Each structure stands twice: as structure tokens, then as C-alpha cells.
Structure 1
Amino acid sequence: MAMEINAIKEALKATTVAENQEHASQYLKEASKMIGFSQILLDLANTNDPAEVEYAVRQAAVIYLKNLVHKCWVVEEEDSSTVKELPLSEQDKTPIRQKIIPSIIHAPEAIRIHLCSCVQYIMRNDFPAHWPGLIEELVALLHTSDGTELHGALLVIHRLCKIFEYKNHKEKVPLVESMKQILPLLKQRMVLLIPDNSQASCLLQNIILKIFYCLIQFSLNIKMISVEEFGNWLSVFLSIVEREIPAECNEEDADSLEDTVYWKCKKWSLKIIARVFERYGSKGQVEEIYSNLPNTTPKNLLCQSSTPFSKMFSHLAEALSQAQIWLIVKPHFEELLRSIIFRLLMHSAEDEQMWDEDPEDYLRCKYDCFEDLHDPSAAAAQLLQAMSRRVGVLQPTLQFVLSNLSPTCSSHEVDSALHMISVLAPLSSRTRSTRRMCKIWSMPMSSQESLIQHIGSPYSNSKILSHLVAALVERLKIAEEELPVKVEAATAIQALINDQEQKVLTLIRPHVKDILMEVLRLISKTQVDELPPVVDSLIENFEEEVIPVAYDVAVELVNIFNKLAGTNEEDQETMTEDNSVTIMGVLTTMETVLCLIEDHEEIVKRVEPVIRGCIVSIFENYCSNYFDESLSLTQTLISVSISPEMWYVYELIYKAFVEEGTSFFVDCMPAIHNFLTIDTEAFLSVPTRAQWLLEMCEKTLQDKEAGEEAQIHAAKLFEVFIIQCQGRAEHFLPGILQLSLNCLQGAEQENATDLRSQILVVFISVLYTTNIDYFRNLLSQLKPQVDFDWFTRAVLTNKEHFNGVHDRKMVLYFMCRLLAFQQSHVIPEGQNDQKLIMDFCLNHFDGLQKSIKAMAENRADSDSDESSEDDADDDRMNDELKDSDDDLDEGTLEYLESLQRKGRKKRNSSNMNSVGDGVHEEFDEFRSDSDDSEEYHNFVEETEVESYTTLLDAEEGGLNVFLDFKKIFQEVQTNNPPLFNALIAGLDQTKSEELQKLLTVCTQQENLDHSKKVEQQGGYKFNPETALPNNFSFAN
């Protein structure tokens, strides 16, 4: 054994040197199959004597142990053939479970982190079933007075909590039972540790705080911690927030201070307090199970802290929605406004220095949304807005603002006052008095100083508005103006366009070209993410003015892209990642330009080479971050016609698929669909184009890892190809059907119902484009051999899974053909159940009509819903809250009501059938809110591939199954009475009425089709020579 240990030790040492690494790794791989190998690794990692084991060997041992545990602790059966790893024996597992926690306790930090990863993986798989003594071991360590042992125990407990963090209530039962023992001990430890402000003590406190946050972040089990004990924990967190920072921390700079353990304790305490209020403490907006917590929480949140942490202000702003909290804060409102909020919203010395030294960096910091997450000024603005919603607060706040806009005030004070106005703008038009005050400050300040993000309330005075727009445009046009002012002027113009509508559009219209080109130059220079939307807003609101300069705009946008993305690998490494959001905005703006000019053929011809060059650059330089945007641009460019040069882009998309794999298929399908359907002649003129398309579909359907969504898209593309290339692609049909049959068999095994139905539609599309004899012949050539009867049974068996408009049309077409074949004796009548066929038709015609109606309603409702949501948000913002009012969010209340309904329904079902409790609970787990409706059913009006249209979906000349059904139904009735009688024999009264309604709809469709044909022919023709009657009688 000693020789083996030495050999393993030498091999581990060799893995740290490049020369012998491969040979050593192979030796260790073979040694890992030996029983006891994992124990040797753990012992080597635990050896503290450098003379016996070098530190590099210890690190190599623990890393190899971690990888071994992750690969071999549990080996899934289905993975064993591919991974070829032997699972660790119980002889190895038991000693590791016994030694791992003591090892964590005594290991140095660099080794401990890997051991913690090991123990987390082991606990995930073994606790509680195979490691029943774990909690007992941890509880014993929590009683110790040794800080090192306590530290190790806390690390393991934190890892245990992380395992259960995202699990549901049922899955958390083992953790809840464990925490009943552990939490009281953690509380005792915390109370003892808080008076000790040393770094070692704060490190332990920090881990306990993380454990608690992990426990309560998403759900709080009241069996684990009572309401009373919960309040005691909150008191502990508040004491951490309130305690003084040690004097030695004052010597640290601002950035280093955030990394100290003292600050981290405060940060986690504030995170817990904020999360508790947000999740459990908002009175009237919590789940029923937590209804007692809001009554406890506010009493424990009476905290007055002068430390300006952003989390504290964010939490306070959230808490002010409760009247009880507002009444506590209200006496301190003016002090908060004057001494804290006003100061935090002021242009600081650091801001001024950055503005002077590097204005571009200033802009990037100012517009970085991630900076706002921890920015006290952003949180202070949130607090100001929350306070100003209360009755009697807004007017004195505006008065305070006005007092700081006088000529005697410093520029910093004016800036803070203007910043406050921008925050209060949505509220400032609430009352007549506040509107009058707004007019007082609007006109005097509509000069250079006002161009710092502070435009807000609607302007009823056209003189003020005209003056303001002129000032903004002037700031943009002046070449010597500072960059931050120009950027703010651009964003202010966008805000005015959005808020003031027609009044502003008239004023801006003469300057659109200058504004547009200047904003584009600003994007190139500053890379501010907020500027591309400004361009979009200008394009959307000033179409007539932008169309003549669309080419210039496109050129400028492509130049910006080339500058930001870089043209070589070195540029991409240093620039692309930082500018990715801006680049995506630029690419999106290109698409906006293309959509604007799509009806202007000459302009499109000029713009296309410019945009195409950008697309080609993205694919040739393999800028995969922008593949989505480049595909969207491609789709737009070829939406009407396809130039010869654009086919090179199709080739690049194929090459990208080869590199990216099947995960790329869904993303690129819209563009491929356009290449296939917009110019089918050109597509088929080069054989490799069809081969590439079929190859992409084939690889996707054969890849089990591609997922059902991608495979459904691949099957859909097969269908589109077959229908689009009707009469010109028969030589591809045998291969397509064989691949489809193979995939169909796999879908049946995996119960992939949506994929199965889409593949059956592929078969139907072949029947549609050929004839019954050719279709039968193709089926007979497949392996395993199938026939028409097999296919019919497959369609009927899968009847519940044909959804949407297109798929329902296709199966109804097949049923019409089936009846036609039986009527003409191509297929024996007795081979199929006629009642089943008629039920199938009635159900799917009903579903088809519902789908068509639902899709039309959805399109009509989408815009109105969006505008109504915006109006609701505005109304909620403008509502004043009395001191006694709670600010309740209607969306949250509706959600809670739905939860209560589900709870009542679950309890009712339990009372009705106690034997089936488990079944009911599992069923309820998957029900949606719409299940509460008695008319709920699994109806899908639109499939995920509905947008990929075929020739059959065209309004003119498309497939009309209503006409087909009426025609074949009448033919059967006339020519084959026995078959007709068999079809209607099994219909009850309800079904007979459904059939009559269907025939009425078919007649309506027939009349509509006739009217369209007459209209296409120029309308009805009348004989002008026909004599008019001399007498008219209306008596009858």
C-alpha cells in the first residue's frame, strides 16, 4: 500500500508539470478503479506536513478527488455505456463520509473550497437516506467552543441549504426536520457572536446570515421557525445593521470597504430584511400561510440608521407601501428630504472629476443599469417617489425644489433640484396647484441648465414647449457642446416624443435629419446603450423625413457596428463583450430602417448591399453573439424578393449550422423558410441549396439531444419543402419519409405527442402533392414496411394532438381524401370505422373554427392589452395615498386570490376523496390558473410553428377544407348511399346538430368563395339593354 501511495503521490505531482502530464493522468485514471483510491486522495489532501506531501500535490489530490466524486459517486445506468466510469463502492463511500467534515474543518482555504464542493455533491445524493448521522455530527460541532470547528460546520450547513434552495415544500421535508434542531443553535451562536466585532467573529456571522437567507429566500416553512422566533431573528439582523463599523475600516478606500467582512455582514442583513418584507411582510399581499407575519414584521423594522446603503433605501421605499411604516417615517420626512435624499441626488465631486477627465467613461457609468443596483442615489430617487405618493408630501417637496433653483444656489444644488424634478415628473401633474408650480419653474429653467435628464410633465403651454425643444436641438447641433449634455439632450427629445406626442412632433419635424445623424455619431463615440432606442423612436415617428436619408442612416449604422465589433480577433477580445448591448441595439435599428423602406424598392436596392455586408461580416468572423440579429436582418431583407447576392448569406447560415449544431436550427429557420418560399425557383436552381436544407433537417431529427422543439421545426420545414416544391422534388420524398418514419417511432417511445402529430402532417403533405397510388408505393418502400391502413390508424389514434389552424386543416384534408377514396372504392369501405371518421371530422372542424376565431381575437387584443396596462400603471402612479392607505398592487392580489382558490379546490377534493389525496395534489401541481374555469380544456389554437406558412395557407388559392368536405359529403350521399348511411348512422341528436351547423358553415364558405371569384373577374355583369319594368310593386 505504501508503494501505491508513493506512486499516486508522484503521479499527482507530475500532473502539475506539462511534460509528464499525459502519462500521469493515464496512470491515475487506471488507479481510480482501485478500492481505496479515493481515501488515499483525501488523506493526501489532509496531510499538513510539507516534508511529507508538497502543497501542490495536496491541491492536485483534492481536485482529482472532487472530479472523482462528481463522476463516480453516482453513475446513472443510461450514462454508464457512454461515460464508462465505475461507481465508487460503499467501501470507499463510508470512510469518505466519515472523514470529509473533519477534513473541511482543518483544511486551508484553497483546499477547503474543493472539499465543500465534494460534500455538497455527496449530501445531494446521500442525505438523508445514506447519511443519517450527518445532522447529529453537525449539531455536535455547533456546541463546540472551537471557532475552527464551528466554521467548518457552518460551511457544510450552508452547502446543505443550497441543495434544497430551489426545491418545493415536499422536497424540503428533510431540510425542515434538520433545521428544527440546527436553527435554535445558530440563533444562540449569533447572539453570542454579535458583541464580538472581530474579523473572525464577523466571518462566522456572515455564513449564518447566508444560511438564513438561503432558507427564506423563496419560501418560509412555519414548522421550521415560528412567527415569534422569526421576529427575534429580525431583531438580530437589525442589531447588525445598526452597529458601528470598526475604526480600522475607515482607513480603507470606498472600493475596498465593500470587500470587508464587516460590510458583508451589513449587506446580508439588509438583503434578508428587504427580502422578508418583499416576500412575507407586505400587509394584504402575502399568501394565506404567511398572513400572521406582516403583523409581526413592521414592529421589528423600527430602524433609524444614517448609513446610506442603497439596499436600506430600496427596502424603505418598498416598505412605505404600508400605512403603518409610513406613519413611522412621516415625522422624519423633511429631514430625509433635506439631509439625505437631496445630498444623494447631487452631482458629486467624483462625478465632476470623471466628467472633466473622461466624459465617455462618465456616460458609460451613468447609463450602466448594473451600477443602479448598488447606487445609493438610484435608491434615494426610489424613496423620494414612494414618499411623494402620500397626501400632503408632493407640494412641500416641490416648494423645497423651487427654493434650490434660485440664482444664488450653487450649480450642485441646482442639479440636485432638477434631478428631484425628474423623479417627481410623473406625479407633478396630479393636482392644479402642483401643475401651477411646474409652470413656475419650467420657463426660467428652460435653458442650458435644464438639459440634464429633467424633462417630465405634460406641457400645456406651447411657448414653453417650443422654447424647450429649440434648446434641446441647439444643444445637439453645437459641435463644441460636451458629450454628456448632448446625450442627455437626445434622451430628453425621445422622452418628449413619447410623452407629448403630436405637439412635439410638429416642432421636431424640421430638424429630424440633423438630430438623427447627430445621435448616430453619438452612438459611435459613446457606446451608450440608451441611444439606439432614440434612433428607433425618430424613425418610427418621422417616416416621411427618414425615408429619403435611409441610405445614409444605414451606412452610418454599419460603420458604427464595424467600429464597435472590430474587424480582427484582437479588437473583438477587447471590445465586443463590453459593447454587445450597444451593438445589438444598432443591429435592431438597422432592422427598423429596413422595415420602414420595404415598400420603396429603389431605396431597398441601395440599402441592401450595405446591410448585407454587415451580415456577411458577422458570419464570416463568427460573431456568434450577433447571429440572432443577423438572421433577423436576413429575414427582413428577403421578405419580398431575394437578390442573387443574398444567396451567399444562405450558404453562410448553413456553415454556421455546421459549426453551431442542432441548437442553432430553431434560430435560423425563419430565414431559411423565407429563402425557400420567397423565391422557390432560385432555391431549386442550385441543387446544393435543397441538399443543405434537407441535411440540416436530417441532423436535427436524428439528434436526440436537439429537443422536441427543434425536431418539430425540422419536421415543419420538411412539410414546407414538400408543398413548396410540388412536382419538382419527388426524388427527395423517399428519404424524407424514411427519416420521418424513424423519428415517428422514436417519438412514440418518448411520448412526444406534438412531434408525432407534426410528422404525420409531413406524410399528409406528401399525399397532397402526389396521388394515392404514388403515396402507397412510397409507404411500401419504407423500412419497416407500412401501408395506407397503418397510416390511417396512426392519424386517428393521434386525433387529440392535432392543434392550431394549419395542422387541423391538413388532417381534415386527409379525412376528406379518405372518404373520397372509399366513395370511389379505391380503399375498401369496411376497412375503417365510419363513425370514428365522422366524429373526427366534427371535432376538428369545431376546433378549426375556434382556432381561427381565437387567433383573430388574440391579434386584436394584444395592442389594447398593452395600452391598458400602461394606462393602469399611470393611474396607479397618479393615485394619492392617504396616511391610512396601504398601496396594494392589483396584480399581486389577483395572484394571491388564484392561490386561495386552488387551495380551496384542493381541500374540497381531499374531503370528497381522501384516498386520492396524492393524486389530487399531483394533478393540482400542473394545473394553470385557467383551470378554475369550468370550460377548461387542453385547447391549443396556435402551434409554435404556425407562422411558417405554406402555399396551402394563402387566403387566395389556399386549402379550404370546408369546401372539400361539403363536396365529398354530397358526392358520398349521391353516389354511395351505404357509405353515407354508415357515416351518419351512429350520430346522436347533438352530433347531428353539429353536422348541420358544419354544413351551414360550409355553404357560407362556398358563397364567400364564389363572391371572391366574381370580384376577381370584375364583378357581376349586367346587360345595359335590358328594359326596366314600368311598374314596381312592394306589396309582397
Structure 2
Amino acid sequence: MDPNRIIQALKGTIDPNLRIAAETELNQSYKIINFAPTLLQIIVSDQVEFPVRQAAAIYMKNMVTQYWPDREAPPGEAMLPFNIHENDRQNIRDNIVEGIIHSPDLIRSQLAVCLRAIIKYDFPGRWTAVVDKIGFFLQSPNNASWLGSLMCLYQLVRTYEFKKAEERDPLIAAMQIFLPRIQQKIFQLLPDSSQLSVLIQKQILKIFYALVQYALPLQLVNKQTMTQWMEIFRTIIDRDVPPETLQVDEDDRPELVWWKCKKWALHLVARLFERYGSPGNVTKDYTENDDLTNVIQKMICEYSEEMTTIAVDMTQHLAMTFSKVLQSDAYEEVEDKTVMAMGILNTIDTILTVVEDHKEITQQLEGICLQVIGLVLQKHVIEFYEEVLSLAYSLTCQVISPNMWQLLGVLYEVLQQDCFEYFTDMMPLLHNYVTVDTDAFLSNPKNVEIIYNLCKKVLTGDAGEDAECHAAKLLEVIILQCQGKGIDQCIPLFVEAVLERLTRGVKTSELRTMCLQVTIAALYYSPMLLVHTLENIRFSHSAEPITAQFINQWMNDTDCFLGLHDRKVCIIGLSTLMEMQNRPEAVNAVAAQILPSLLLLFLGLKRAYASKITNDQDENGEEDEDAEENEEIPSDEDDIREAGQQYLDMLEQHQVEEDEEDDDDDEWDEDGLEETALEGFSTPLDEDNYVDEYQIFTSALLRIQSVDAAWYQTLTAPLSEDQKKQLQEIFTLTEQRKNAEESKKIEGQGGYKFDMTAPVPTMFSFGATRGNN
């Protein structure tokens, strides 16, 4: 394979004038034996221009993730699909670790994704040598070699991060070698505050997090070694940053490696406590903690049935003790009253969790807890706000009593006086108020007014973009939760609040997309109401309606919508937008962007669904196959089940590892799921079978094709052949999802049968279209 020919083609992909010809050249060459190893040679060569090396790395990442796994021919096709040849795979296995170690950061991150894909499919069966490779470089005294080899080790550990304990034997065997070595290294580096040293320390923390955050390997970690690790975390958290970092703008400091290292140490401490130290979460394997509060909490969890009978008395006693600690000086002998008080609040919260299924006991506990909550709020003891908000959340998860509704007004008054930095802690409770009993929430207009005013104050104040994201999310939840429940008068207020925030400086794409998402939810709620609202909003900087600005910003940011929920909302919104009868002119102006944006969203959505299936299986184990085998299904229904299973299989096959190792440590996504921090605040759209975004989009486009040929032509004319193919694939997926849903109905309802004789919808056509005859 001629490297120069590939280099010229890669160079052409960077030039817009040569891109199509260059991509054609590469697409004609990639199946040739030795293409992939030649690509790797180009990537690691210092003689090649950096942009070309970077383009080669991206191309190789796509090749490896798509063509590394062995794939069989689809049913009915004789020709095997393309896979990277085994000789080429062995060549890459022999050289990729060195490539990662010796490459610059931007290229290293692409190769790391390749390595993880290779490890996923080849380790340990075909490639035990990766352990020896990493081990060799981890023996080097050269810190530069350590950084790259640690990144390789991170890929190995992350491959097993969410696997069950019994499936982690290959990783455990490797980490018995590596864990003592990296612990020794980080101890040695702690006094060294140079950038490279701290980068290595941060990478070691990331490895340890991936190793222990889901399952604590007791073969590797005992009480002594864990104590040593905790001392490492404490040292990193407590140590001063270099004085020169304080000259950096305060808003930019979190991006410095010294602060990122602290963040990982804190993240580890929090996760270890939550998973292995927090009562209610800890399993018997990990029950080695010290003080009286923890003993009480463990006892509650261990003897939950017995505890329900004495829960009220115990909670009453804890509440009285808390009141004494807070109000008197009688406990001067207690070294740290704050720690004791927090322990009491956490224990009360644990009791609430234990008795949550016993409604009569929970009702009795509610009054006691409200006394505690009221005491904290009255005295404005802000260090306990997080704990009492957690208590209130636990009391509102299943039902909301009149007293708890009154608490909403009290919280509003308190937070008018105190800083809004606790809004994110308040969010789960506010979400309960909106979603647990929506009719009760709407029955008193004061409730909606309180939530809106809280969100408005956050969006117009200086609470920070994280709190602002939560405020916008809460507005979106209200809109989606109250669909069809008559909150038309609220929609203009919600939309104006988020769009006004957009007109001011926004630093993060998360806040920008969250503000857009509120407006998209309003579009889904009522298209005409939103258009009317947009046309009547005027901001001081412009006399023009904000409609065009909103549409253009939305189009520019469709690639920033991540996770299942956000992409689903964006797809439903764009589908609604393109099908509107009286479209704003701004929609026509961006017609060429609508379908390409939707295709991009569907691609990401497919990966997110695939990752969700994989993670659900990892967490819950495989489904009970015996029951499935014993079922007898008529032949026509069998076809539906097969089609549905094909859809699920396709999702798993198309899972693509897109978690770039570009040092973006703000993302704590779990194995490519890309779930955003706000997706935990569910809406009706997130319920199974509530709406299917695939069917909404497909039905909308088919209706446009049928009744508005000119608009359909405008939408589809800019599509390339590949994009047209993707569009047809979405149509096929829609049918498969529909069949998968029908198969569930068959299994769940026994006698339900799907009409296999029903006409199949017409697939999309391009070029000639039907008119309005």
C-alpha cells in the first residue's frame, strides 16, 4: 500500500474543494490489505503534517470501531461483510500501544478509542500481550511514557468497568500487577506539582475510579490499601495549587489540571462513600466504617423489618437530639457538633427509606421530620440545607400531603433570603412537586407561580450555569408533564425567561441547549401558541421578533443535544416544525438543514439506545430465557417477534464507542450512554410507549410527501445519496420498532394479534414526488 497515495487523499479531506474526490479515493482503498496498518504508520510519523495525521487518526478510529469485530453475512446474502483482515489486525495490535505513547494528545485520544474497541473484542482471547505491553512501559522511569501507557491501561479498565464481579477475572489478574505499581507511582509524584506529574496523577485517579466505582475488587483492595488510597485522595484535595495558577481567570481555573486532579479525588471520595460507606447502599462484603451513627444506620438496614415497629420512637429521639445539638451548648464535649448533626439527619433519611413501603409509619414520621426541617429553615442553618431537602424529597416520592404542599411556600420564602446556590439540591424535591401529583400541583395556581419565580430568579441572577440548567430543566418538565392540562397562560412566561437568558452570554452548550429545549417543549405543547409567543417577544437589543434567532440557534446547536431524552425532544420538535401548516418564514430559510440535522440526531439516538440496552443487561443480568423458550407463539406472531428481535440485535451491533479521550473530565458518562445529569428528572416523554419519536418523524415526513410535494422536495433536495440511504434506514427502523412493540403486546396480553395483512406505509421517494391531486 502506497503511503503517499493515502497521505494525499487524507490531505484532500481537509480541503473543501477536494473533499469529495478524496473521500471517494479513501472509500475505494480501505478494504485493501495493509491499508489500516499503513494508516497507523502515517498517524505516528513525525514526518507527516499534523492535520493529516489527525485526519488519519479519525479515519482509523471509524474503521476500527466499525470493521474490527467479526461479522457474519446478513440472512439471505452470500457475501461476507468487510472486516479488517487478521494480518492487519495483528499488525495494529503490535504497534498501537507504542503509537498512543509517542503521539501528541489530540491524536492519542483518537487512538485510545481504537484501543478500547480492540480490547473489547480481543482481550483476553486473542490479545493477552496487551498486558505485557502496558507493563513494559509502566516500568520506564520516563514520565512521558507513563502518561501514554496509563491511558492504555485506562482503556483496559474501562472495558470492564460495569461488568459483574464474576466476569472481571482477566482484569483482576492484570491489576494484581498494575495496581501496586500505580499506587507506588502516585505516592512518588505527590510532592511534584509540575504539569506532567499532575497529569499522571489525574490519570491514575481515573483508572482507580473506573476500577472500583461499580464493584470493589476485594482481591486487590483490603483495609490497609484502601487506607493508603484515602490518604492519597486527602493529600491531593488538601494541597495548594501552584501560585501561578491563581493568576488565571477564576472562571478558567477549573480547566487547569491541578484543579481537575482535585476534582477526580473528590469524585472518588464521594463515590466510595456512596457505594461502600453509605448505609442502605453497602453490601455485607464491604461493611468494615467506625462511629456510632454509622452503626445505627447499618443496624437499620440490616434489620429493616424489625425496625419498622420502633421507627417512630427512634426518629423522635433522633429529632430531639438534633434539636439539642442545634440549640444548646450542652454538648460542648462533642468535638464537632456539625458532623454529629449531619449524621443524625442522614440516619433519619435512612429510616425514611427503610419504611417507605409502610405508608402509615411514613405519615407519622412526616410530622417529626417537618419539625426538624422547620428548625433548620427558621434558623437559616445553611450547612444543613442539603440534608433537610433530602428529607423533604424522601417524604414526597409517593404522595404529597397538605403539610408538604405548605412546605413548598416556606421553602420559597427561605430561599428568597438565602443564596440560590442550593437550587440544584432542591431540584429533586421540586421535580416531585410537579410530577408525583400533577393535578394537585395545578389545582393551586400559587404552586406554579412559586416554581416559575424560583426558576426565573435563578435564570436572571448569578447562581451559575449549573443551577440555571436545572431551572430551565424544571420549566421543561412542567411543560411536558402538563401537556393537555391547560397551562397555556404559562407558556409565554416560560419561553420568554429562557430566551432572555439566551440573549446574554452563555458559556456552556448545556445551558444553551437546555434553554432551547424549553422552547422546543413549548412547540410540542402547542405550535401555534409558541409561534404567537415568539412573534410577540421583543428584547431591548432588537426590534425584530425573536423567531428567526431561535430557529437559527436551534439549527446551529442540534449536534449539542446529547442523551436519549434531549435527542428525543429535539427530533419531535423538528418533526413538528417541518409539518406545521403556517410555517414562519424563518423555517423555510433553514429548510436545507432540517433533515440533515434530524439524521445526525437519529444516529446519536441509535447509539444511545444501544448503550442503554447494554448497560441494562450489565446491571440486571440476562433475561430469563427458560420462560421464553416455553412460550408457544403462532407463526405470524413469530414473524413479528423476529422483526422486533432484529431491531434489538441491530441496536447492540451498532453500539459505537464515541467517548473521546480528549481530557474532557466534566463528563461522567457511563460507558457511552451519554446520559446528561438532567435526564434523571423524568417526563412523560421518557416513559416506555408514551410517544415514539421514530414514528412521529416518519409519519410527519410521509404526510408531507403526500400533501405538500413542493415542501417535501425542498426538504429532501439537499440530501446526499448517503443521507437518502440513512433516511430509508430510519423508515426501516420505524417499522422494526413498531413490530417490536407489537411483539411485546403479544407476550403481555396473550390473545392480542397484529394484523400482518395491513398495508405497509410507502417508503420515502426522492426526485419525483406526488402532488396534492
Relative to the length of structure 1, the TM-score reads: 0.39
Q: Is the 8 A contact 1:566 1:575 kept in 2?
A: no
1:541 aligns with 2:274: no
Q: Give the match for residue 457 of structure 2.
A: 699
Could you say if the C-alpha distance between residues 587 and 827 of structure 1 is closer, same or farther in structure 2, counting changes exceeding 3 Å?
Answer: same
Deviation string, structure 1 residues 865-885 (Cα, Å, up to 9, x no partner): xxxxxxxxxxxxxxxxxxxxx
Matches within 5 A, 1:459-470: none
1:803 aligns with 2:562: yes
Q: Give the match for residue 178 of structure 2.
A: none
Q: Give the match for residue 725 of structure 1.
A: 482
Matches within 5 A, 1:517-666: 530-543=291-304, 545-546=305-306, 549-566=307-324, 569-571=327-329, 574=332, 578-666=336-424
1:955 aligns with 2:688: yes
Q: Give the match for residue 676 of structure 1.
A: 434
Q: Is the 8 A contact 1:654 1:692 kept in 2?
A: yes
* Offset, 1:660: 1.9
Q: Is the 8 A contact 1:638 1:674 kept in 2?
A: yes
Q: Which amino acid aligns with 1:820?
A: E
CA distance in 1, matches of 2:682, 2:286: 40
1:986 aligns with 2:713: no
Deviation string, structure 1 residues 426-476 (Cα, Å, up to 9, x no partner): xxxxxxxxxxxxxxxxxxxxxxxxxxxxxxxxxxxxxxxxxxxxxxxxxxx
Deviation string, structure 1 residues 458-509 (Cα, Å, up to 9, x no partner): xxxxxxxxxxxxxxxxxxxxxxxxxxxxxxxxx9xx9x993599xxxxxxxx
CA distance in 2, matches of 1:612, 1:1013: 45
Q: Is the 8 A contact 1:738 1:783 kept in 2?
A: no
Q: Give the match for residue 575 of structure 2.
A: 816
Q: Is the 8 A contact 1:838 1:983 kept in 2?
A: yes
Matches within 5 A, 1:51-450: 278-280=187-189
Higher mean C-alpha displacement, 837-846 vs 1007-1016? 1007-1016
* Offset, 1:684: 2.6
Q: Give the match for residue 19 of structure 1.
A: none
* Offset, 1:832: 3.4
Q: Which amino acid aligns with 1:626?
A: F
The one of 513, 521, 535 aligned to 1:765: 521
User: Residue 638 of structure 1: SS of its match in structure 2?
Assistant: coil
User: Residue 399 of structure 2: SS of its match in structure 1?
Assistant: coil
Q: Give the match for residue 943 of structure 1.
A: 676
Deviation string, structure 1 residues 358-413 (Cα, Å, up to 9, x no partner): xxxxxxxxxxx99xx99xxxxxxxxxxxxxxxxxxxxxxxxxxxxxxxxxxxxxxx
Q: Which amino acid aligns with 1:759?
A: C
CA distance in 1, matches of 2:321, 2:452: 37
* Offset, 1:720: 1.5
* Offset, 1:827: 5.3
* Offset, 1:930: 13
Q: Is the 8 A contact 2:312 2:364 kept in 1?
A: no
Q: Give the match for residue 494 of structure 2.
A: 736
User: Residue 308 of structure 2: SS of its match in structure 1?
Assistant: helix
1:714 aligns with 2:475: no
1:782 aligns with 2:540: no
User: Residue 463 of structure 2: SS of its match in structure 1?
Assistant: coil
User: Residue 676 of structure 2: SS of its match in structure 1?
Assistant: coil
Could you say if the C-alpha distance between residues 576 and 696 of structure 1 is closer, same or farther in structure 2, counting changes exceeding 3 Å?
Answer: farther
* Offset, 1:926: 6.5
Matches within 5 A, 1:468-507: 498=284
* Offset, 1:653: 1.9
Q: Give the match for residue 770 of structure 2.
A: none
> How many residues of Structure 1 are paired with residues of Structure 2 in the alignment?
455
User: Residue 642 of structure 1: SS of its match in structure 2?
Assistant: coil
Q: Which amino acid aligns with 2:284?
A: N
Could you say if the C-alpha distance between residues 277 and 804 of structure 1 is closer, same or farther in structure 2, counting changes exceeding 3 Å?
Answer: closer
Q: Is the 8 A contact 2:420 2:458 kept in 1?
A: yes
User: Residue 566 of structure 1: SS of its match in structure 2?
Assistant: helix
User: Residue 783 of structure 1: SS of its match in structure 2?
Assistant: coil
User: Residue 946 of structure 1: SS of its match in structure 2?
Assistant: helix
1:849 aligns with 2:635: no
CA distance in 2, matches of 1:603, 1:810: 40
CA distance in 1, matches of 2:478, 2:743: 32
Q: Is the 8 A contact 1:554 1:593 kept in 2?
A: no
Could you say if the C-alpha distance between residues 860 and 662 of structure 1 is closer, same or farther in structure 2, counting changes exceeding 3 Å?
Answer: farther
Deviation string, structure 1 residues 196-231 (Cα, Å, up to 9, x no partner): xxxxxxxxxxxxxxxxxxxxxxxx999xxxxxxxxx
User: Residue 738 of structure 1: SS of its match in structure 2?
Assistant: helix
Q: Give the match for residue 756 of structure 1.
A: 512
Q: Give the match for residue 998 of structure 1.
A: 730
Where do 5+ consecutive residues of structure 1 fail to align?
A: 1-219, 223-273, 292-316, 322-368, 375-490, 502-527, 865-923, 1023-1036
User: Residue 727 of structure 2: SS of its match in structure 1?
Assistant: helix
Q: Is the 8 A contact 1:551 1:607 kept in 2?
A: no
Deviation string, structure 1 residues 641-689 (Cα, Å, up to 9, x no partner): 1111112322232233122222121111111111121122222333322
Identity among equivalent positions (%) equals 27
CA distance in 1, matches of 2:330, 2:560: 47
Q: Give the match for residue 446 of structure 2.
A: 688
Q: Give the match for residue 971 of structure 1.
A: 703
Where do 5+ consecutive residues of structure 2 fail to align?
A: 1-140, 144-182, 201-223, 236-276, 622-659, 755-773
Q: Is the 8 A contact 1:850 1:941 kept in 2?
A: no
CA distance in 2, matches of 1:990, 1:854: 24
Larger Rg: 1
CA distance in 1, matches of 2:367, 2:618: 38
Could you say if the C-alpha distance between residues 290 and 614 of structure 1 is closer, same or farther in structure 2, counting changes exceeding 3 Å?
Answer: closer
Deviation string, structure 1 residues 765-819 (Cα, Å, up to 9, x no partner): 11222232x2221112211342544432221012222122222111111111122
Q: Is the 8 A contact 1:723 1:765 kept in 2?
A: yes
Q: Is the 8 A contact 1:565 1:572 kept in 2?
A: no
User: Residue 945 of structure 1: SS of its match in structure 2?
Assistant: helix
CA distance in 2, matches of 1:775, 1:829: 14
* Offset, 1:601: 2.6
Q: Is the 8 A contact 1:529 1:585 kept in 2?
A: no
Q: Comparing both chains, which one has the higher relative contact order based on Cα–Cα distances under 8 Å and sequence gaps of 6 or more?
A: 2
Q: Which amino acid aligns with 2:368?
A: V
Q: Is the 8 A contact 1:676 1:721 kept in 2?
A: yes
CA distance in 2, matches of 1:627, 1:834: 49
CA distance in 1, matches of 2:572, 2:713: 21
CA distance in 2, matches of 1:801, 1:1021: 41
User: Residue 677 of structure 2: SS of its match in structure 1?
Assistant: coil
User: Residue 640 of structure 1: SS of its match in structure 2?
Assistant: coil
Q: Is the 8 A contact 2:428 2:681 kept in 1?
A: yes
* Offset, 1:712: 0.8
CA distance in 2, matches of 1:289, 1:825: 58
Deviation string, structure 1 residues 528-582 (Cα, Å, up to 9, x no partner): 9623333333333344x33xx4252343134224224427644499588823223
Q: Is the 8 A contact 1:557 1:586 kept in 2?
A: no
CA distance in 1, matches of 2:360, 2:303: 20
CA distance in 2, matches of 1:277, 1:673: 42
Q: Which amino acid aligns with 2:705?
A: Q
Could you say if the C-alpha distance between residues 642 and 787 of structure 1 is closer, same or farther in structure 2, counting changes exceeding 3 Å?
Answer: same
Relative to the length of structure 2, the TM-score reads: 0.52
User: Residue 842 of structure 1: SS of its match in structure 2?
Assistant: helix
* Offset, 1:629: 1.4
